[in-house]
Amino acid sequence: MFEFNVAAFADRLAKLPVRVSLLESGTYNRYLRENVFDVLRQSGKFDLRDLDCDAFTYQDVTPVSYPSCFIHSQVGWAKTFNKFVKDTGASSRKEPSFF
């Protein structure tokens, strides 16, 4: 019968890498406001060849709905991973342990 091995669990837990959150909220960028969006409002068109990609970051163009999409995607990934783990057969080990 397998037992929960506290020492093995604590050892593996201590070795986990620090989780970096990829969730970033959007920020205001003056360049985009003045040189892109204001131009679009006035003339109705903007030539993408005039866009200075060094003047803004991806965080500046992050949509407001991104945090909810990000969380939904993470939850879906975790559920799918759990399903695959549940359907995977057990492997044999030399010593009985939970981890």
Q: According to the model, what pLDDT value does residue 55 have?
A: 93
Is 36 a member of any domain? yes
What's the pLDDT tens digit per position in 17-74?
Answer: 887 766 667 788 999 999 999 999 999 998 999 999 999 888 888 887 887 887 788 7
The reply to whether 21 falls in a domain is no
DSSP per-residue codes, 16-65 = SPPPPP--------HHHIIIIIHHHHHHS---GGG--GGG--GGGG--TT
Q: Total domain count for the chain?
A: 1
Segments forming the whole domain that contains residue 59: 26-92
Residue 15 lies in a domain: no
Residue 20 lies in a domain: no
64, part of any domain: yes
Biggest CA-to-CA distance, the chain: 74
Examine residue 8 and state whether it is found in any structural domain, yes or no: no
Structure tokens at 57: 């970051």
To the question of pTM greater than 0.75 for the whole model, the response is no
What pLDDT is stored for residue 78 in this prediction? 81
Q: Is residue 33 included in any domain, yes or no?
A: yes
Q: How far apart are CA 21 and CA 13, in angstroms?
A: 18
